[in-house]
Amino acid sequence: MKRILTVEDETSIREFVVINLKRAGYTVFEAGSGEEALALFEEHNGDFDVVLLDVMLPGIDGFTVCKKLREQSGTMGIIMLSAKSQEMDKVSGLMLGADDYVTKPFSPSELLARVDAIHRRVIAAEQASAADKIVSGPFSLNLKSRTLVKNGESIELTQVEFQLMELFMNNPNIALARGDILGRVWGENYFGDEKIVDVNMRRLRMKLEDDPSKPKYILTVWGFGYKWIE
Protein backbone atom coordinates (compact mmCIF):
# COMPACT_ATOMS: atom_id res chain seq x y z
CA MET A 1 0.00 0.00 0.00
CA LYS A 2 1.26 3.47 -0.86
CA ARG A 3 0.57 5.61 2.19
CA ILE A 4 0.80 9.36 2.06
CA LEU A 5 0.06 12.11 4.58
CA THR A 6 -1.08 15.47 3.20
CA VAL A 7 -0.68 18.48 5.47
CA GLU A 8 -2.34 21.63 4.15
CA ASP A 9 -4.60 24.16 5.89
CA GLU A 10 -6.25 25.49 2.74
CA THR A 11 -9.16 23.11 2.19
CA SER A 12 -9.50 23.68 -1.56
CA ILE A 13 -5.82 22.92 -2.21
CA ARG A 14 -5.86 19.94 0.13
CA GLU A 15 -8.93 18.47 -1.58
CA PHE A 16 -7.36 18.99 -4.99
CA VAL A 17 -4.20 17.20 -3.86
CA VAL A 18 -6.08 14.37 -2.14
CA ILE A 19 -8.32 13.65 -5.15
CA ASN A 20 -5.34 13.45 -7.47
CA LEU A 21 -3.29 11.24 -5.15
CA LYS A 22 -6.22 8.87 -4.62
CA ARG A 23 -6.72 8.60 -8.38
CA ALA A 24 -3.05 7.62 -8.65
CA GLY A 25 -3.58 4.77 -6.20
CA TYR A 26 -2.32 6.34 -2.97
CA THR A 27 -3.98 5.80 0.40
CA VAL A 28 -4.24 9.36 1.65
CA PHE A 29 -4.39 10.73 5.20
CA GLU A 30 -5.18 14.41 5.76
CA ALA A 31 -4.17 17.01 8.33
CA GLY A 32 -5.15 20.69 8.43
CA SER A 33 -2.35 21.78 10.78
CA GLY A 34 1.11 20.79 11.93
CA GLU A 35 -0.19 19.69 15.30
CA GLU A 36 -2.75 17.43 13.63
CA ALA A 37 -0.04 16.00 11.36
CA LEU A 38 2.23 15.11 14.30
CA ALA A 39 -0.70 13.51 16.15
CA LEU A 40 -1.59 11.42 13.07
CA PHE A 41 2.04 10.43 12.66
CA GLU A 42 2.11 9.14 16.22
CA GLU A 43 -1.26 7.44 15.95
CA HIS A 44 -0.07 5.48 12.90
CA ASN A 45 3.41 4.77 14.33
CA GLY A 46 4.97 6.79 11.52
CA ASP A 47 3.70 4.32 8.92
CA PHE A 48 3.69 6.74 5.97
CA ASP A 49 5.83 6.45 2.85
CA VAL A 50 5.59 10.12 1.92
CA VAL A 51 4.45 13.34 3.63
CA LEU A 52 3.31 16.35 1.59
CA LEU A 53 3.87 19.31 3.86
CA ASP A 54 2.71 22.90 3.36
CA VAL A 55 5.20 25.52 4.63
CA MET A 56 2.71 28.13 5.83
CA LEU A 57 0.45 26.55 8.43
CA PRO A 58 -1.48 27.97 11.37
CA GLY A 59 0.28 27.10 14.66
CA ILE A 60 3.60 25.38 14.16
CA ASP A 61 4.92 25.89 10.64
CA GLY A 62 5.88 23.31 8.03
CA PHE A 63 9.62 23.68 8.66
CA THR A 64 9.22 22.75 12.32
CA VAL A 65 6.95 19.82 11.46
CA CYS A 66 9.49 18.64 8.87
CA LYS A 67 12.29 18.74 11.42
CA LYS A 68 10.25 16.82 14.00
CA LEU A 69 9.18 14.17 11.48
CA ARG A 70 12.72 13.72 10.21
CA GLU A 71 13.98 13.17 13.75
CA GLN A 72 11.62 10.21 13.98
CA SER A 73 12.01 8.72 10.52
CA GLY A 74 15.10 8.75 8.37
CA THR A 75 13.55 6.87 5.46
CA MET A 76 10.14 8.51 4.96
CA GLY A 77 9.90 10.90 1.99
CA ILE A 78 9.07 14.55 2.75
CA ILE A 79 7.96 17.02 0.06
CA MET A 80 7.43 20.66 1.05
CA LEU A 81 4.69 22.73 -0.62
CA SER A 82 5.42 26.43 -0.77
CA ALA A 83 3.36 29.35 -2.02
CA LYS A 84 6.06 31.79 -3.08
CA SER A 85 9.52 31.61 -4.54
CA GLN A 86 10.93 33.38 -1.44
CA GLU A 87 9.55 30.56 0.64
CA MET A 88 11.18 28.16 -1.76
CA ASP A 89 14.53 29.88 -1.19
CA LYS A 90 14.02 29.35 2.48
CA VAL A 91 13.16 25.73 1.88
CA SER A 92 16.27 25.16 -0.19
CA GLY A 93 18.38 26.95 2.42
CA LEU A 94 16.89 25.23 5.40
CA MET A 95 16.06 21.89 3.85
CA LEU A 96 15.78 20.43 7.35
CA GLY A 97 15.53 16.94 5.99
CA ALA A 98 12.96 17.52 3.23
CA ASP A 99 13.59 15.51 0.06
CA ASP A 100 11.96 17.85 -2.42
CA TYR A 101 9.73 20.90 -2.72
CA VAL A 102 6.95 21.97 -5.07
CA THR A 103 5.90 25.61 -5.62
CA LYS A 104 2.23 26.54 -5.79
CA PRO A 105 0.39 26.65 -8.07
CA PHE A 106 1.26 23.23 -9.43
CA SER A 107 -0.43 20.91 -11.91
CA PRO A 108 -1.63 17.45 -10.84
CA SER A 109 0.85 15.82 -13.23
CA GLU A 110 3.77 17.82 -11.80
CA LEU A 111 2.82 16.93 -8.25
CA LEU A 112 2.33 13.25 -9.06
CA ALA A 113 5.64 13.01 -10.88
CA ARG A 114 7.45 14.37 -7.79
CA VAL A 115 5.49 12.18 -5.37
CA ASP A 116 6.02 9.04 -7.47
CA ALA A 117 9.76 9.72 -7.70
CA ILE A 118 10.13 10.12 -3.93
CA HIS A 119 7.89 7.12 -3.28
CA ARG A 120 10.06 4.88 -5.49
CA ARG A 121 13.17 6.03 -3.62
CA VAL A 122 11.59 5.39 -0.22
CA ILE A 123 10.53 1.84 -1.17
CA ALA A 124 14.00 1.09 -2.58
CA ALA A 125 15.65 2.37 0.62
CA GLU A 126 13.29 0.31 2.81
CA GLN A 127 14.03 -2.85 0.83
CA ALA A 128 17.77 -2.21 1.02
CA SER A 129 17.68 -1.74 4.78
CA ALA A 130 15.54 -4.88 5.24
CA ALA A 131 18.22 -6.86 3.38
CA ASP A 132 20.80 -5.69 5.93
CA LYS A 133 18.88 -7.27 8.80
CA ILE A 134 18.29 -10.79 10.04
CA VAL A 135 15.28 -11.11 12.31
CA SER A 136 14.58 -14.16 14.46
CA GLY A 137 12.12 -14.22 17.34
CA PRO A 138 12.81 -11.18 19.55
CA PHE A 139 16.25 -10.71 17.97
CA SER A 140 17.29 -8.43 15.15
CA LEU A 141 20.84 -8.50 13.85
CA ASN A 142 21.88 -5.45 11.83
CA LEU A 143 24.66 -6.44 9.44
CA LYS A 144 25.52 -2.85 8.58
CA SER A 145 25.87 -1.37 12.06
CA ARG A 146 26.92 -4.81 13.39
CA THR A 147 24.56 -4.60 16.33
CA LEU A 148 22.17 -7.02 17.97
CA VAL A 149 18.87 -5.93 19.43
CA LYS A 150 16.57 -8.03 21.63
CA ASN A 151 13.06 -6.66 22.17
CA GLY A 152 14.32 -3.20 21.24
CA GLU A 153 17.29 -3.32 23.63
CA SER A 154 20.78 -3.53 22.26
CA ILE A 155 23.17 -6.25 23.36
CA GLU A 156 26.93 -5.67 23.22
CA LEU A 157 28.73 -8.35 21.23
CA THR A 158 32.37 -9.04 20.43
CA GLN A 159 33.14 -9.51 16.72
CA VAL A 160 33.38 -13.29 17.20
CA GLU A 161 30.02 -13.36 18.99
CA PHE A 162 28.55 -11.29 16.19
CA GLN A 163 29.80 -13.77 13.57
CA LEU A 164 28.37 -16.65 15.61
CA MET A 165 25.00 -14.89 15.72
CA GLU A 166 25.10 -14.28 11.98
CA LEU A 167 25.85 -17.97 11.35
CA PHE A 168 23.10 -19.17 13.71
CA MET A 169 20.41 -16.73 12.66
CA ASN A 170 21.05 -17.60 9.01
CA ASN A 171 20.63 -21.31 9.87
CA PRO A 172 17.66 -21.48 12.25
CA ASN A 173 16.66 -24.88 13.64
CA ILE A 174 19.67 -26.58 12.06
CA ALA A 175 22.17 -28.47 14.24
CA LEU A 176 25.64 -27.11 13.50
CA ALA A 177 28.67 -29.25 14.35
CA ARG A 178 31.37 -27.73 16.58
CA GLY A 179 34.01 -28.29 13.88
CA ASP A 180 31.77 -26.63 11.31
CA ILE A 181 31.18 -23.60 13.56
CA LEU A 182 34.91 -23.38 14.25
CA GLY A 183 35.74 -23.43 10.54
CA ARG A 184 33.12 -20.87 9.56
CA VAL A 185 33.78 -18.35 12.33
CA TRP A 186 37.42 -18.80 13.30
CA GLY A 187 38.54 -19.92 9.82
CA GLU A 188 39.65 -23.23 8.38
CA ASN A 189 43.23 -22.59 9.46
CA TYR A 190 42.41 -21.95 13.10
CA PHE A 191 44.92 -23.94 15.10
CA GLY A 192 43.18 -24.48 18.37
CA ASP A 193 40.70 -26.48 20.34
CA GLU A 194 36.99 -26.80 19.60
CA LYS A 195 36.44 -25.81 23.25
CA ILE A 196 36.76 -22.18 22.16
CA VAL A 197 33.33 -22.66 20.57
CA ASP A 198 31.84 -23.80 23.89
CA VAL A 199 33.39 -20.87 25.74
CA ASN A 200 31.85 -18.39 23.31
CA MET A 201 28.49 -20.12 23.24
CA ARG A 202 28.35 -19.98 27.02
CA ARG A 203 29.08 -16.26 26.93
CA LEU A 204 26.47 -15.69 24.24
CA ARG A 205 23.89 -17.49 26.38
CA MET A 206 24.71 -15.19 29.30
CA LYS A 207 23.98 -12.21 27.06
CA LEU A 208 20.97 -13.55 25.16
CA GLU A 209 18.99 -15.99 27.23
CA ASP A 210 16.42 -14.92 29.82
CA ASP A 211 17.70 -17.81 31.95
CA PRO A 212 21.14 -19.01 30.72
CA SER A 213 20.80 -22.28 32.67
CA LYS A 214 17.61 -23.09 30.72
CA PRO A 215 18.44 -21.82 27.23
CA LYS A 216 15.55 -21.29 24.82
CA TYR A 217 17.45 -19.93 21.83
CA ILE A 218 20.86 -21.62 21.80
CA LEU A 219 20.41 -25.34 22.38
CA THR A 220 23.18 -27.87 22.89
CA VAL A 221 23.09 -30.87 20.59
CA TRP A 222 24.91 -33.41 22.76
CA GLY A 223 28.07 -34.84 21.28
CA PHE A 224 27.64 -32.70 18.17
CA GLY A 225 27.30 -28.95 18.50
CA TYR A 226 24.62 -26.26 18.77
CA LYS A 227 21.30 -25.29 17.29
CA TRP A 228 19.60 -21.90 17.04
CA ILE A 229 15.87 -22.13 17.76
CA GLU A 230 13.62 -19.71 15.94
Give the CA distances from residue 221 to residues 93, 176, 189, in Å, rounded to whole numbers and listed in that order.
61, 8, 24
Minimum distance from CB of 20 to Ca ion (Å)?
Answer: 18
Alpha carbon distance 196, 183 (integer Å): 12
- Binding part of the chain for Ca ion, among 7-15, 94-102, 162-170, 209-217 by CB under 5 A, reads 7-15
Nearer to Ca ion (CB atom), residue 49 or residue 54: 54
Contact 187, 212 (CB under 8 A): no
Per-residue interface string for the shown chain with Ca ion, residues 42-81, x marking contact by CB under 5 A:
------------x-x-------------------------
- Binding part of the chain for Ca ion, among 2-10, 67-75, 129-137, 186-194 by CB under 5 A, reads 2-10
Nearer to Ca ion (CB atom), residue 9 or residue 194: 9
Alpha carbon distance 50, 116 (integer Å): 9
Q: Which helix (H) or strand (E) holds 211?
A: none
- Binding part of the chain for Ca ion, among 8-16, 18-26, 43-51, 127-135 by CB under 5 A, reads 8-16
Nearer to Ca ion (CB atom), residue 36 or residue 198: 36
Minimum distance from CB of 81 to Ca ion (Å)?
Answer: 8
Nearer to Ca ion (CB atom), residue 54 or residue 161: 54
Helix, coil or strand: residue 55: coil
Among the listed residues 55, 45, 50, 63, the one whose alpha carbon sits nearest the alpha carbon of residue 82: 55
| Residue 9 near Ca ion by CB under 5 A | yes
Alpha carbon distance 136, 24 (integer Å): 36
- 73 φ, ψ (degrees, to nearest 5): -145, 120
Nearer to Ca ion (CB atom), residue 56 or residue 117: 56
Contact 127, 220 (CB under 8 A): no
Minimum distance from CB of 33 to Ca ion (Å)?
Answer: 10
Q: Residues touching Ca ion: how many (CB under 5 A)?
A: 3
Residues found near Ca ion in the complex (CB under 5 A)? 9, 54, 56
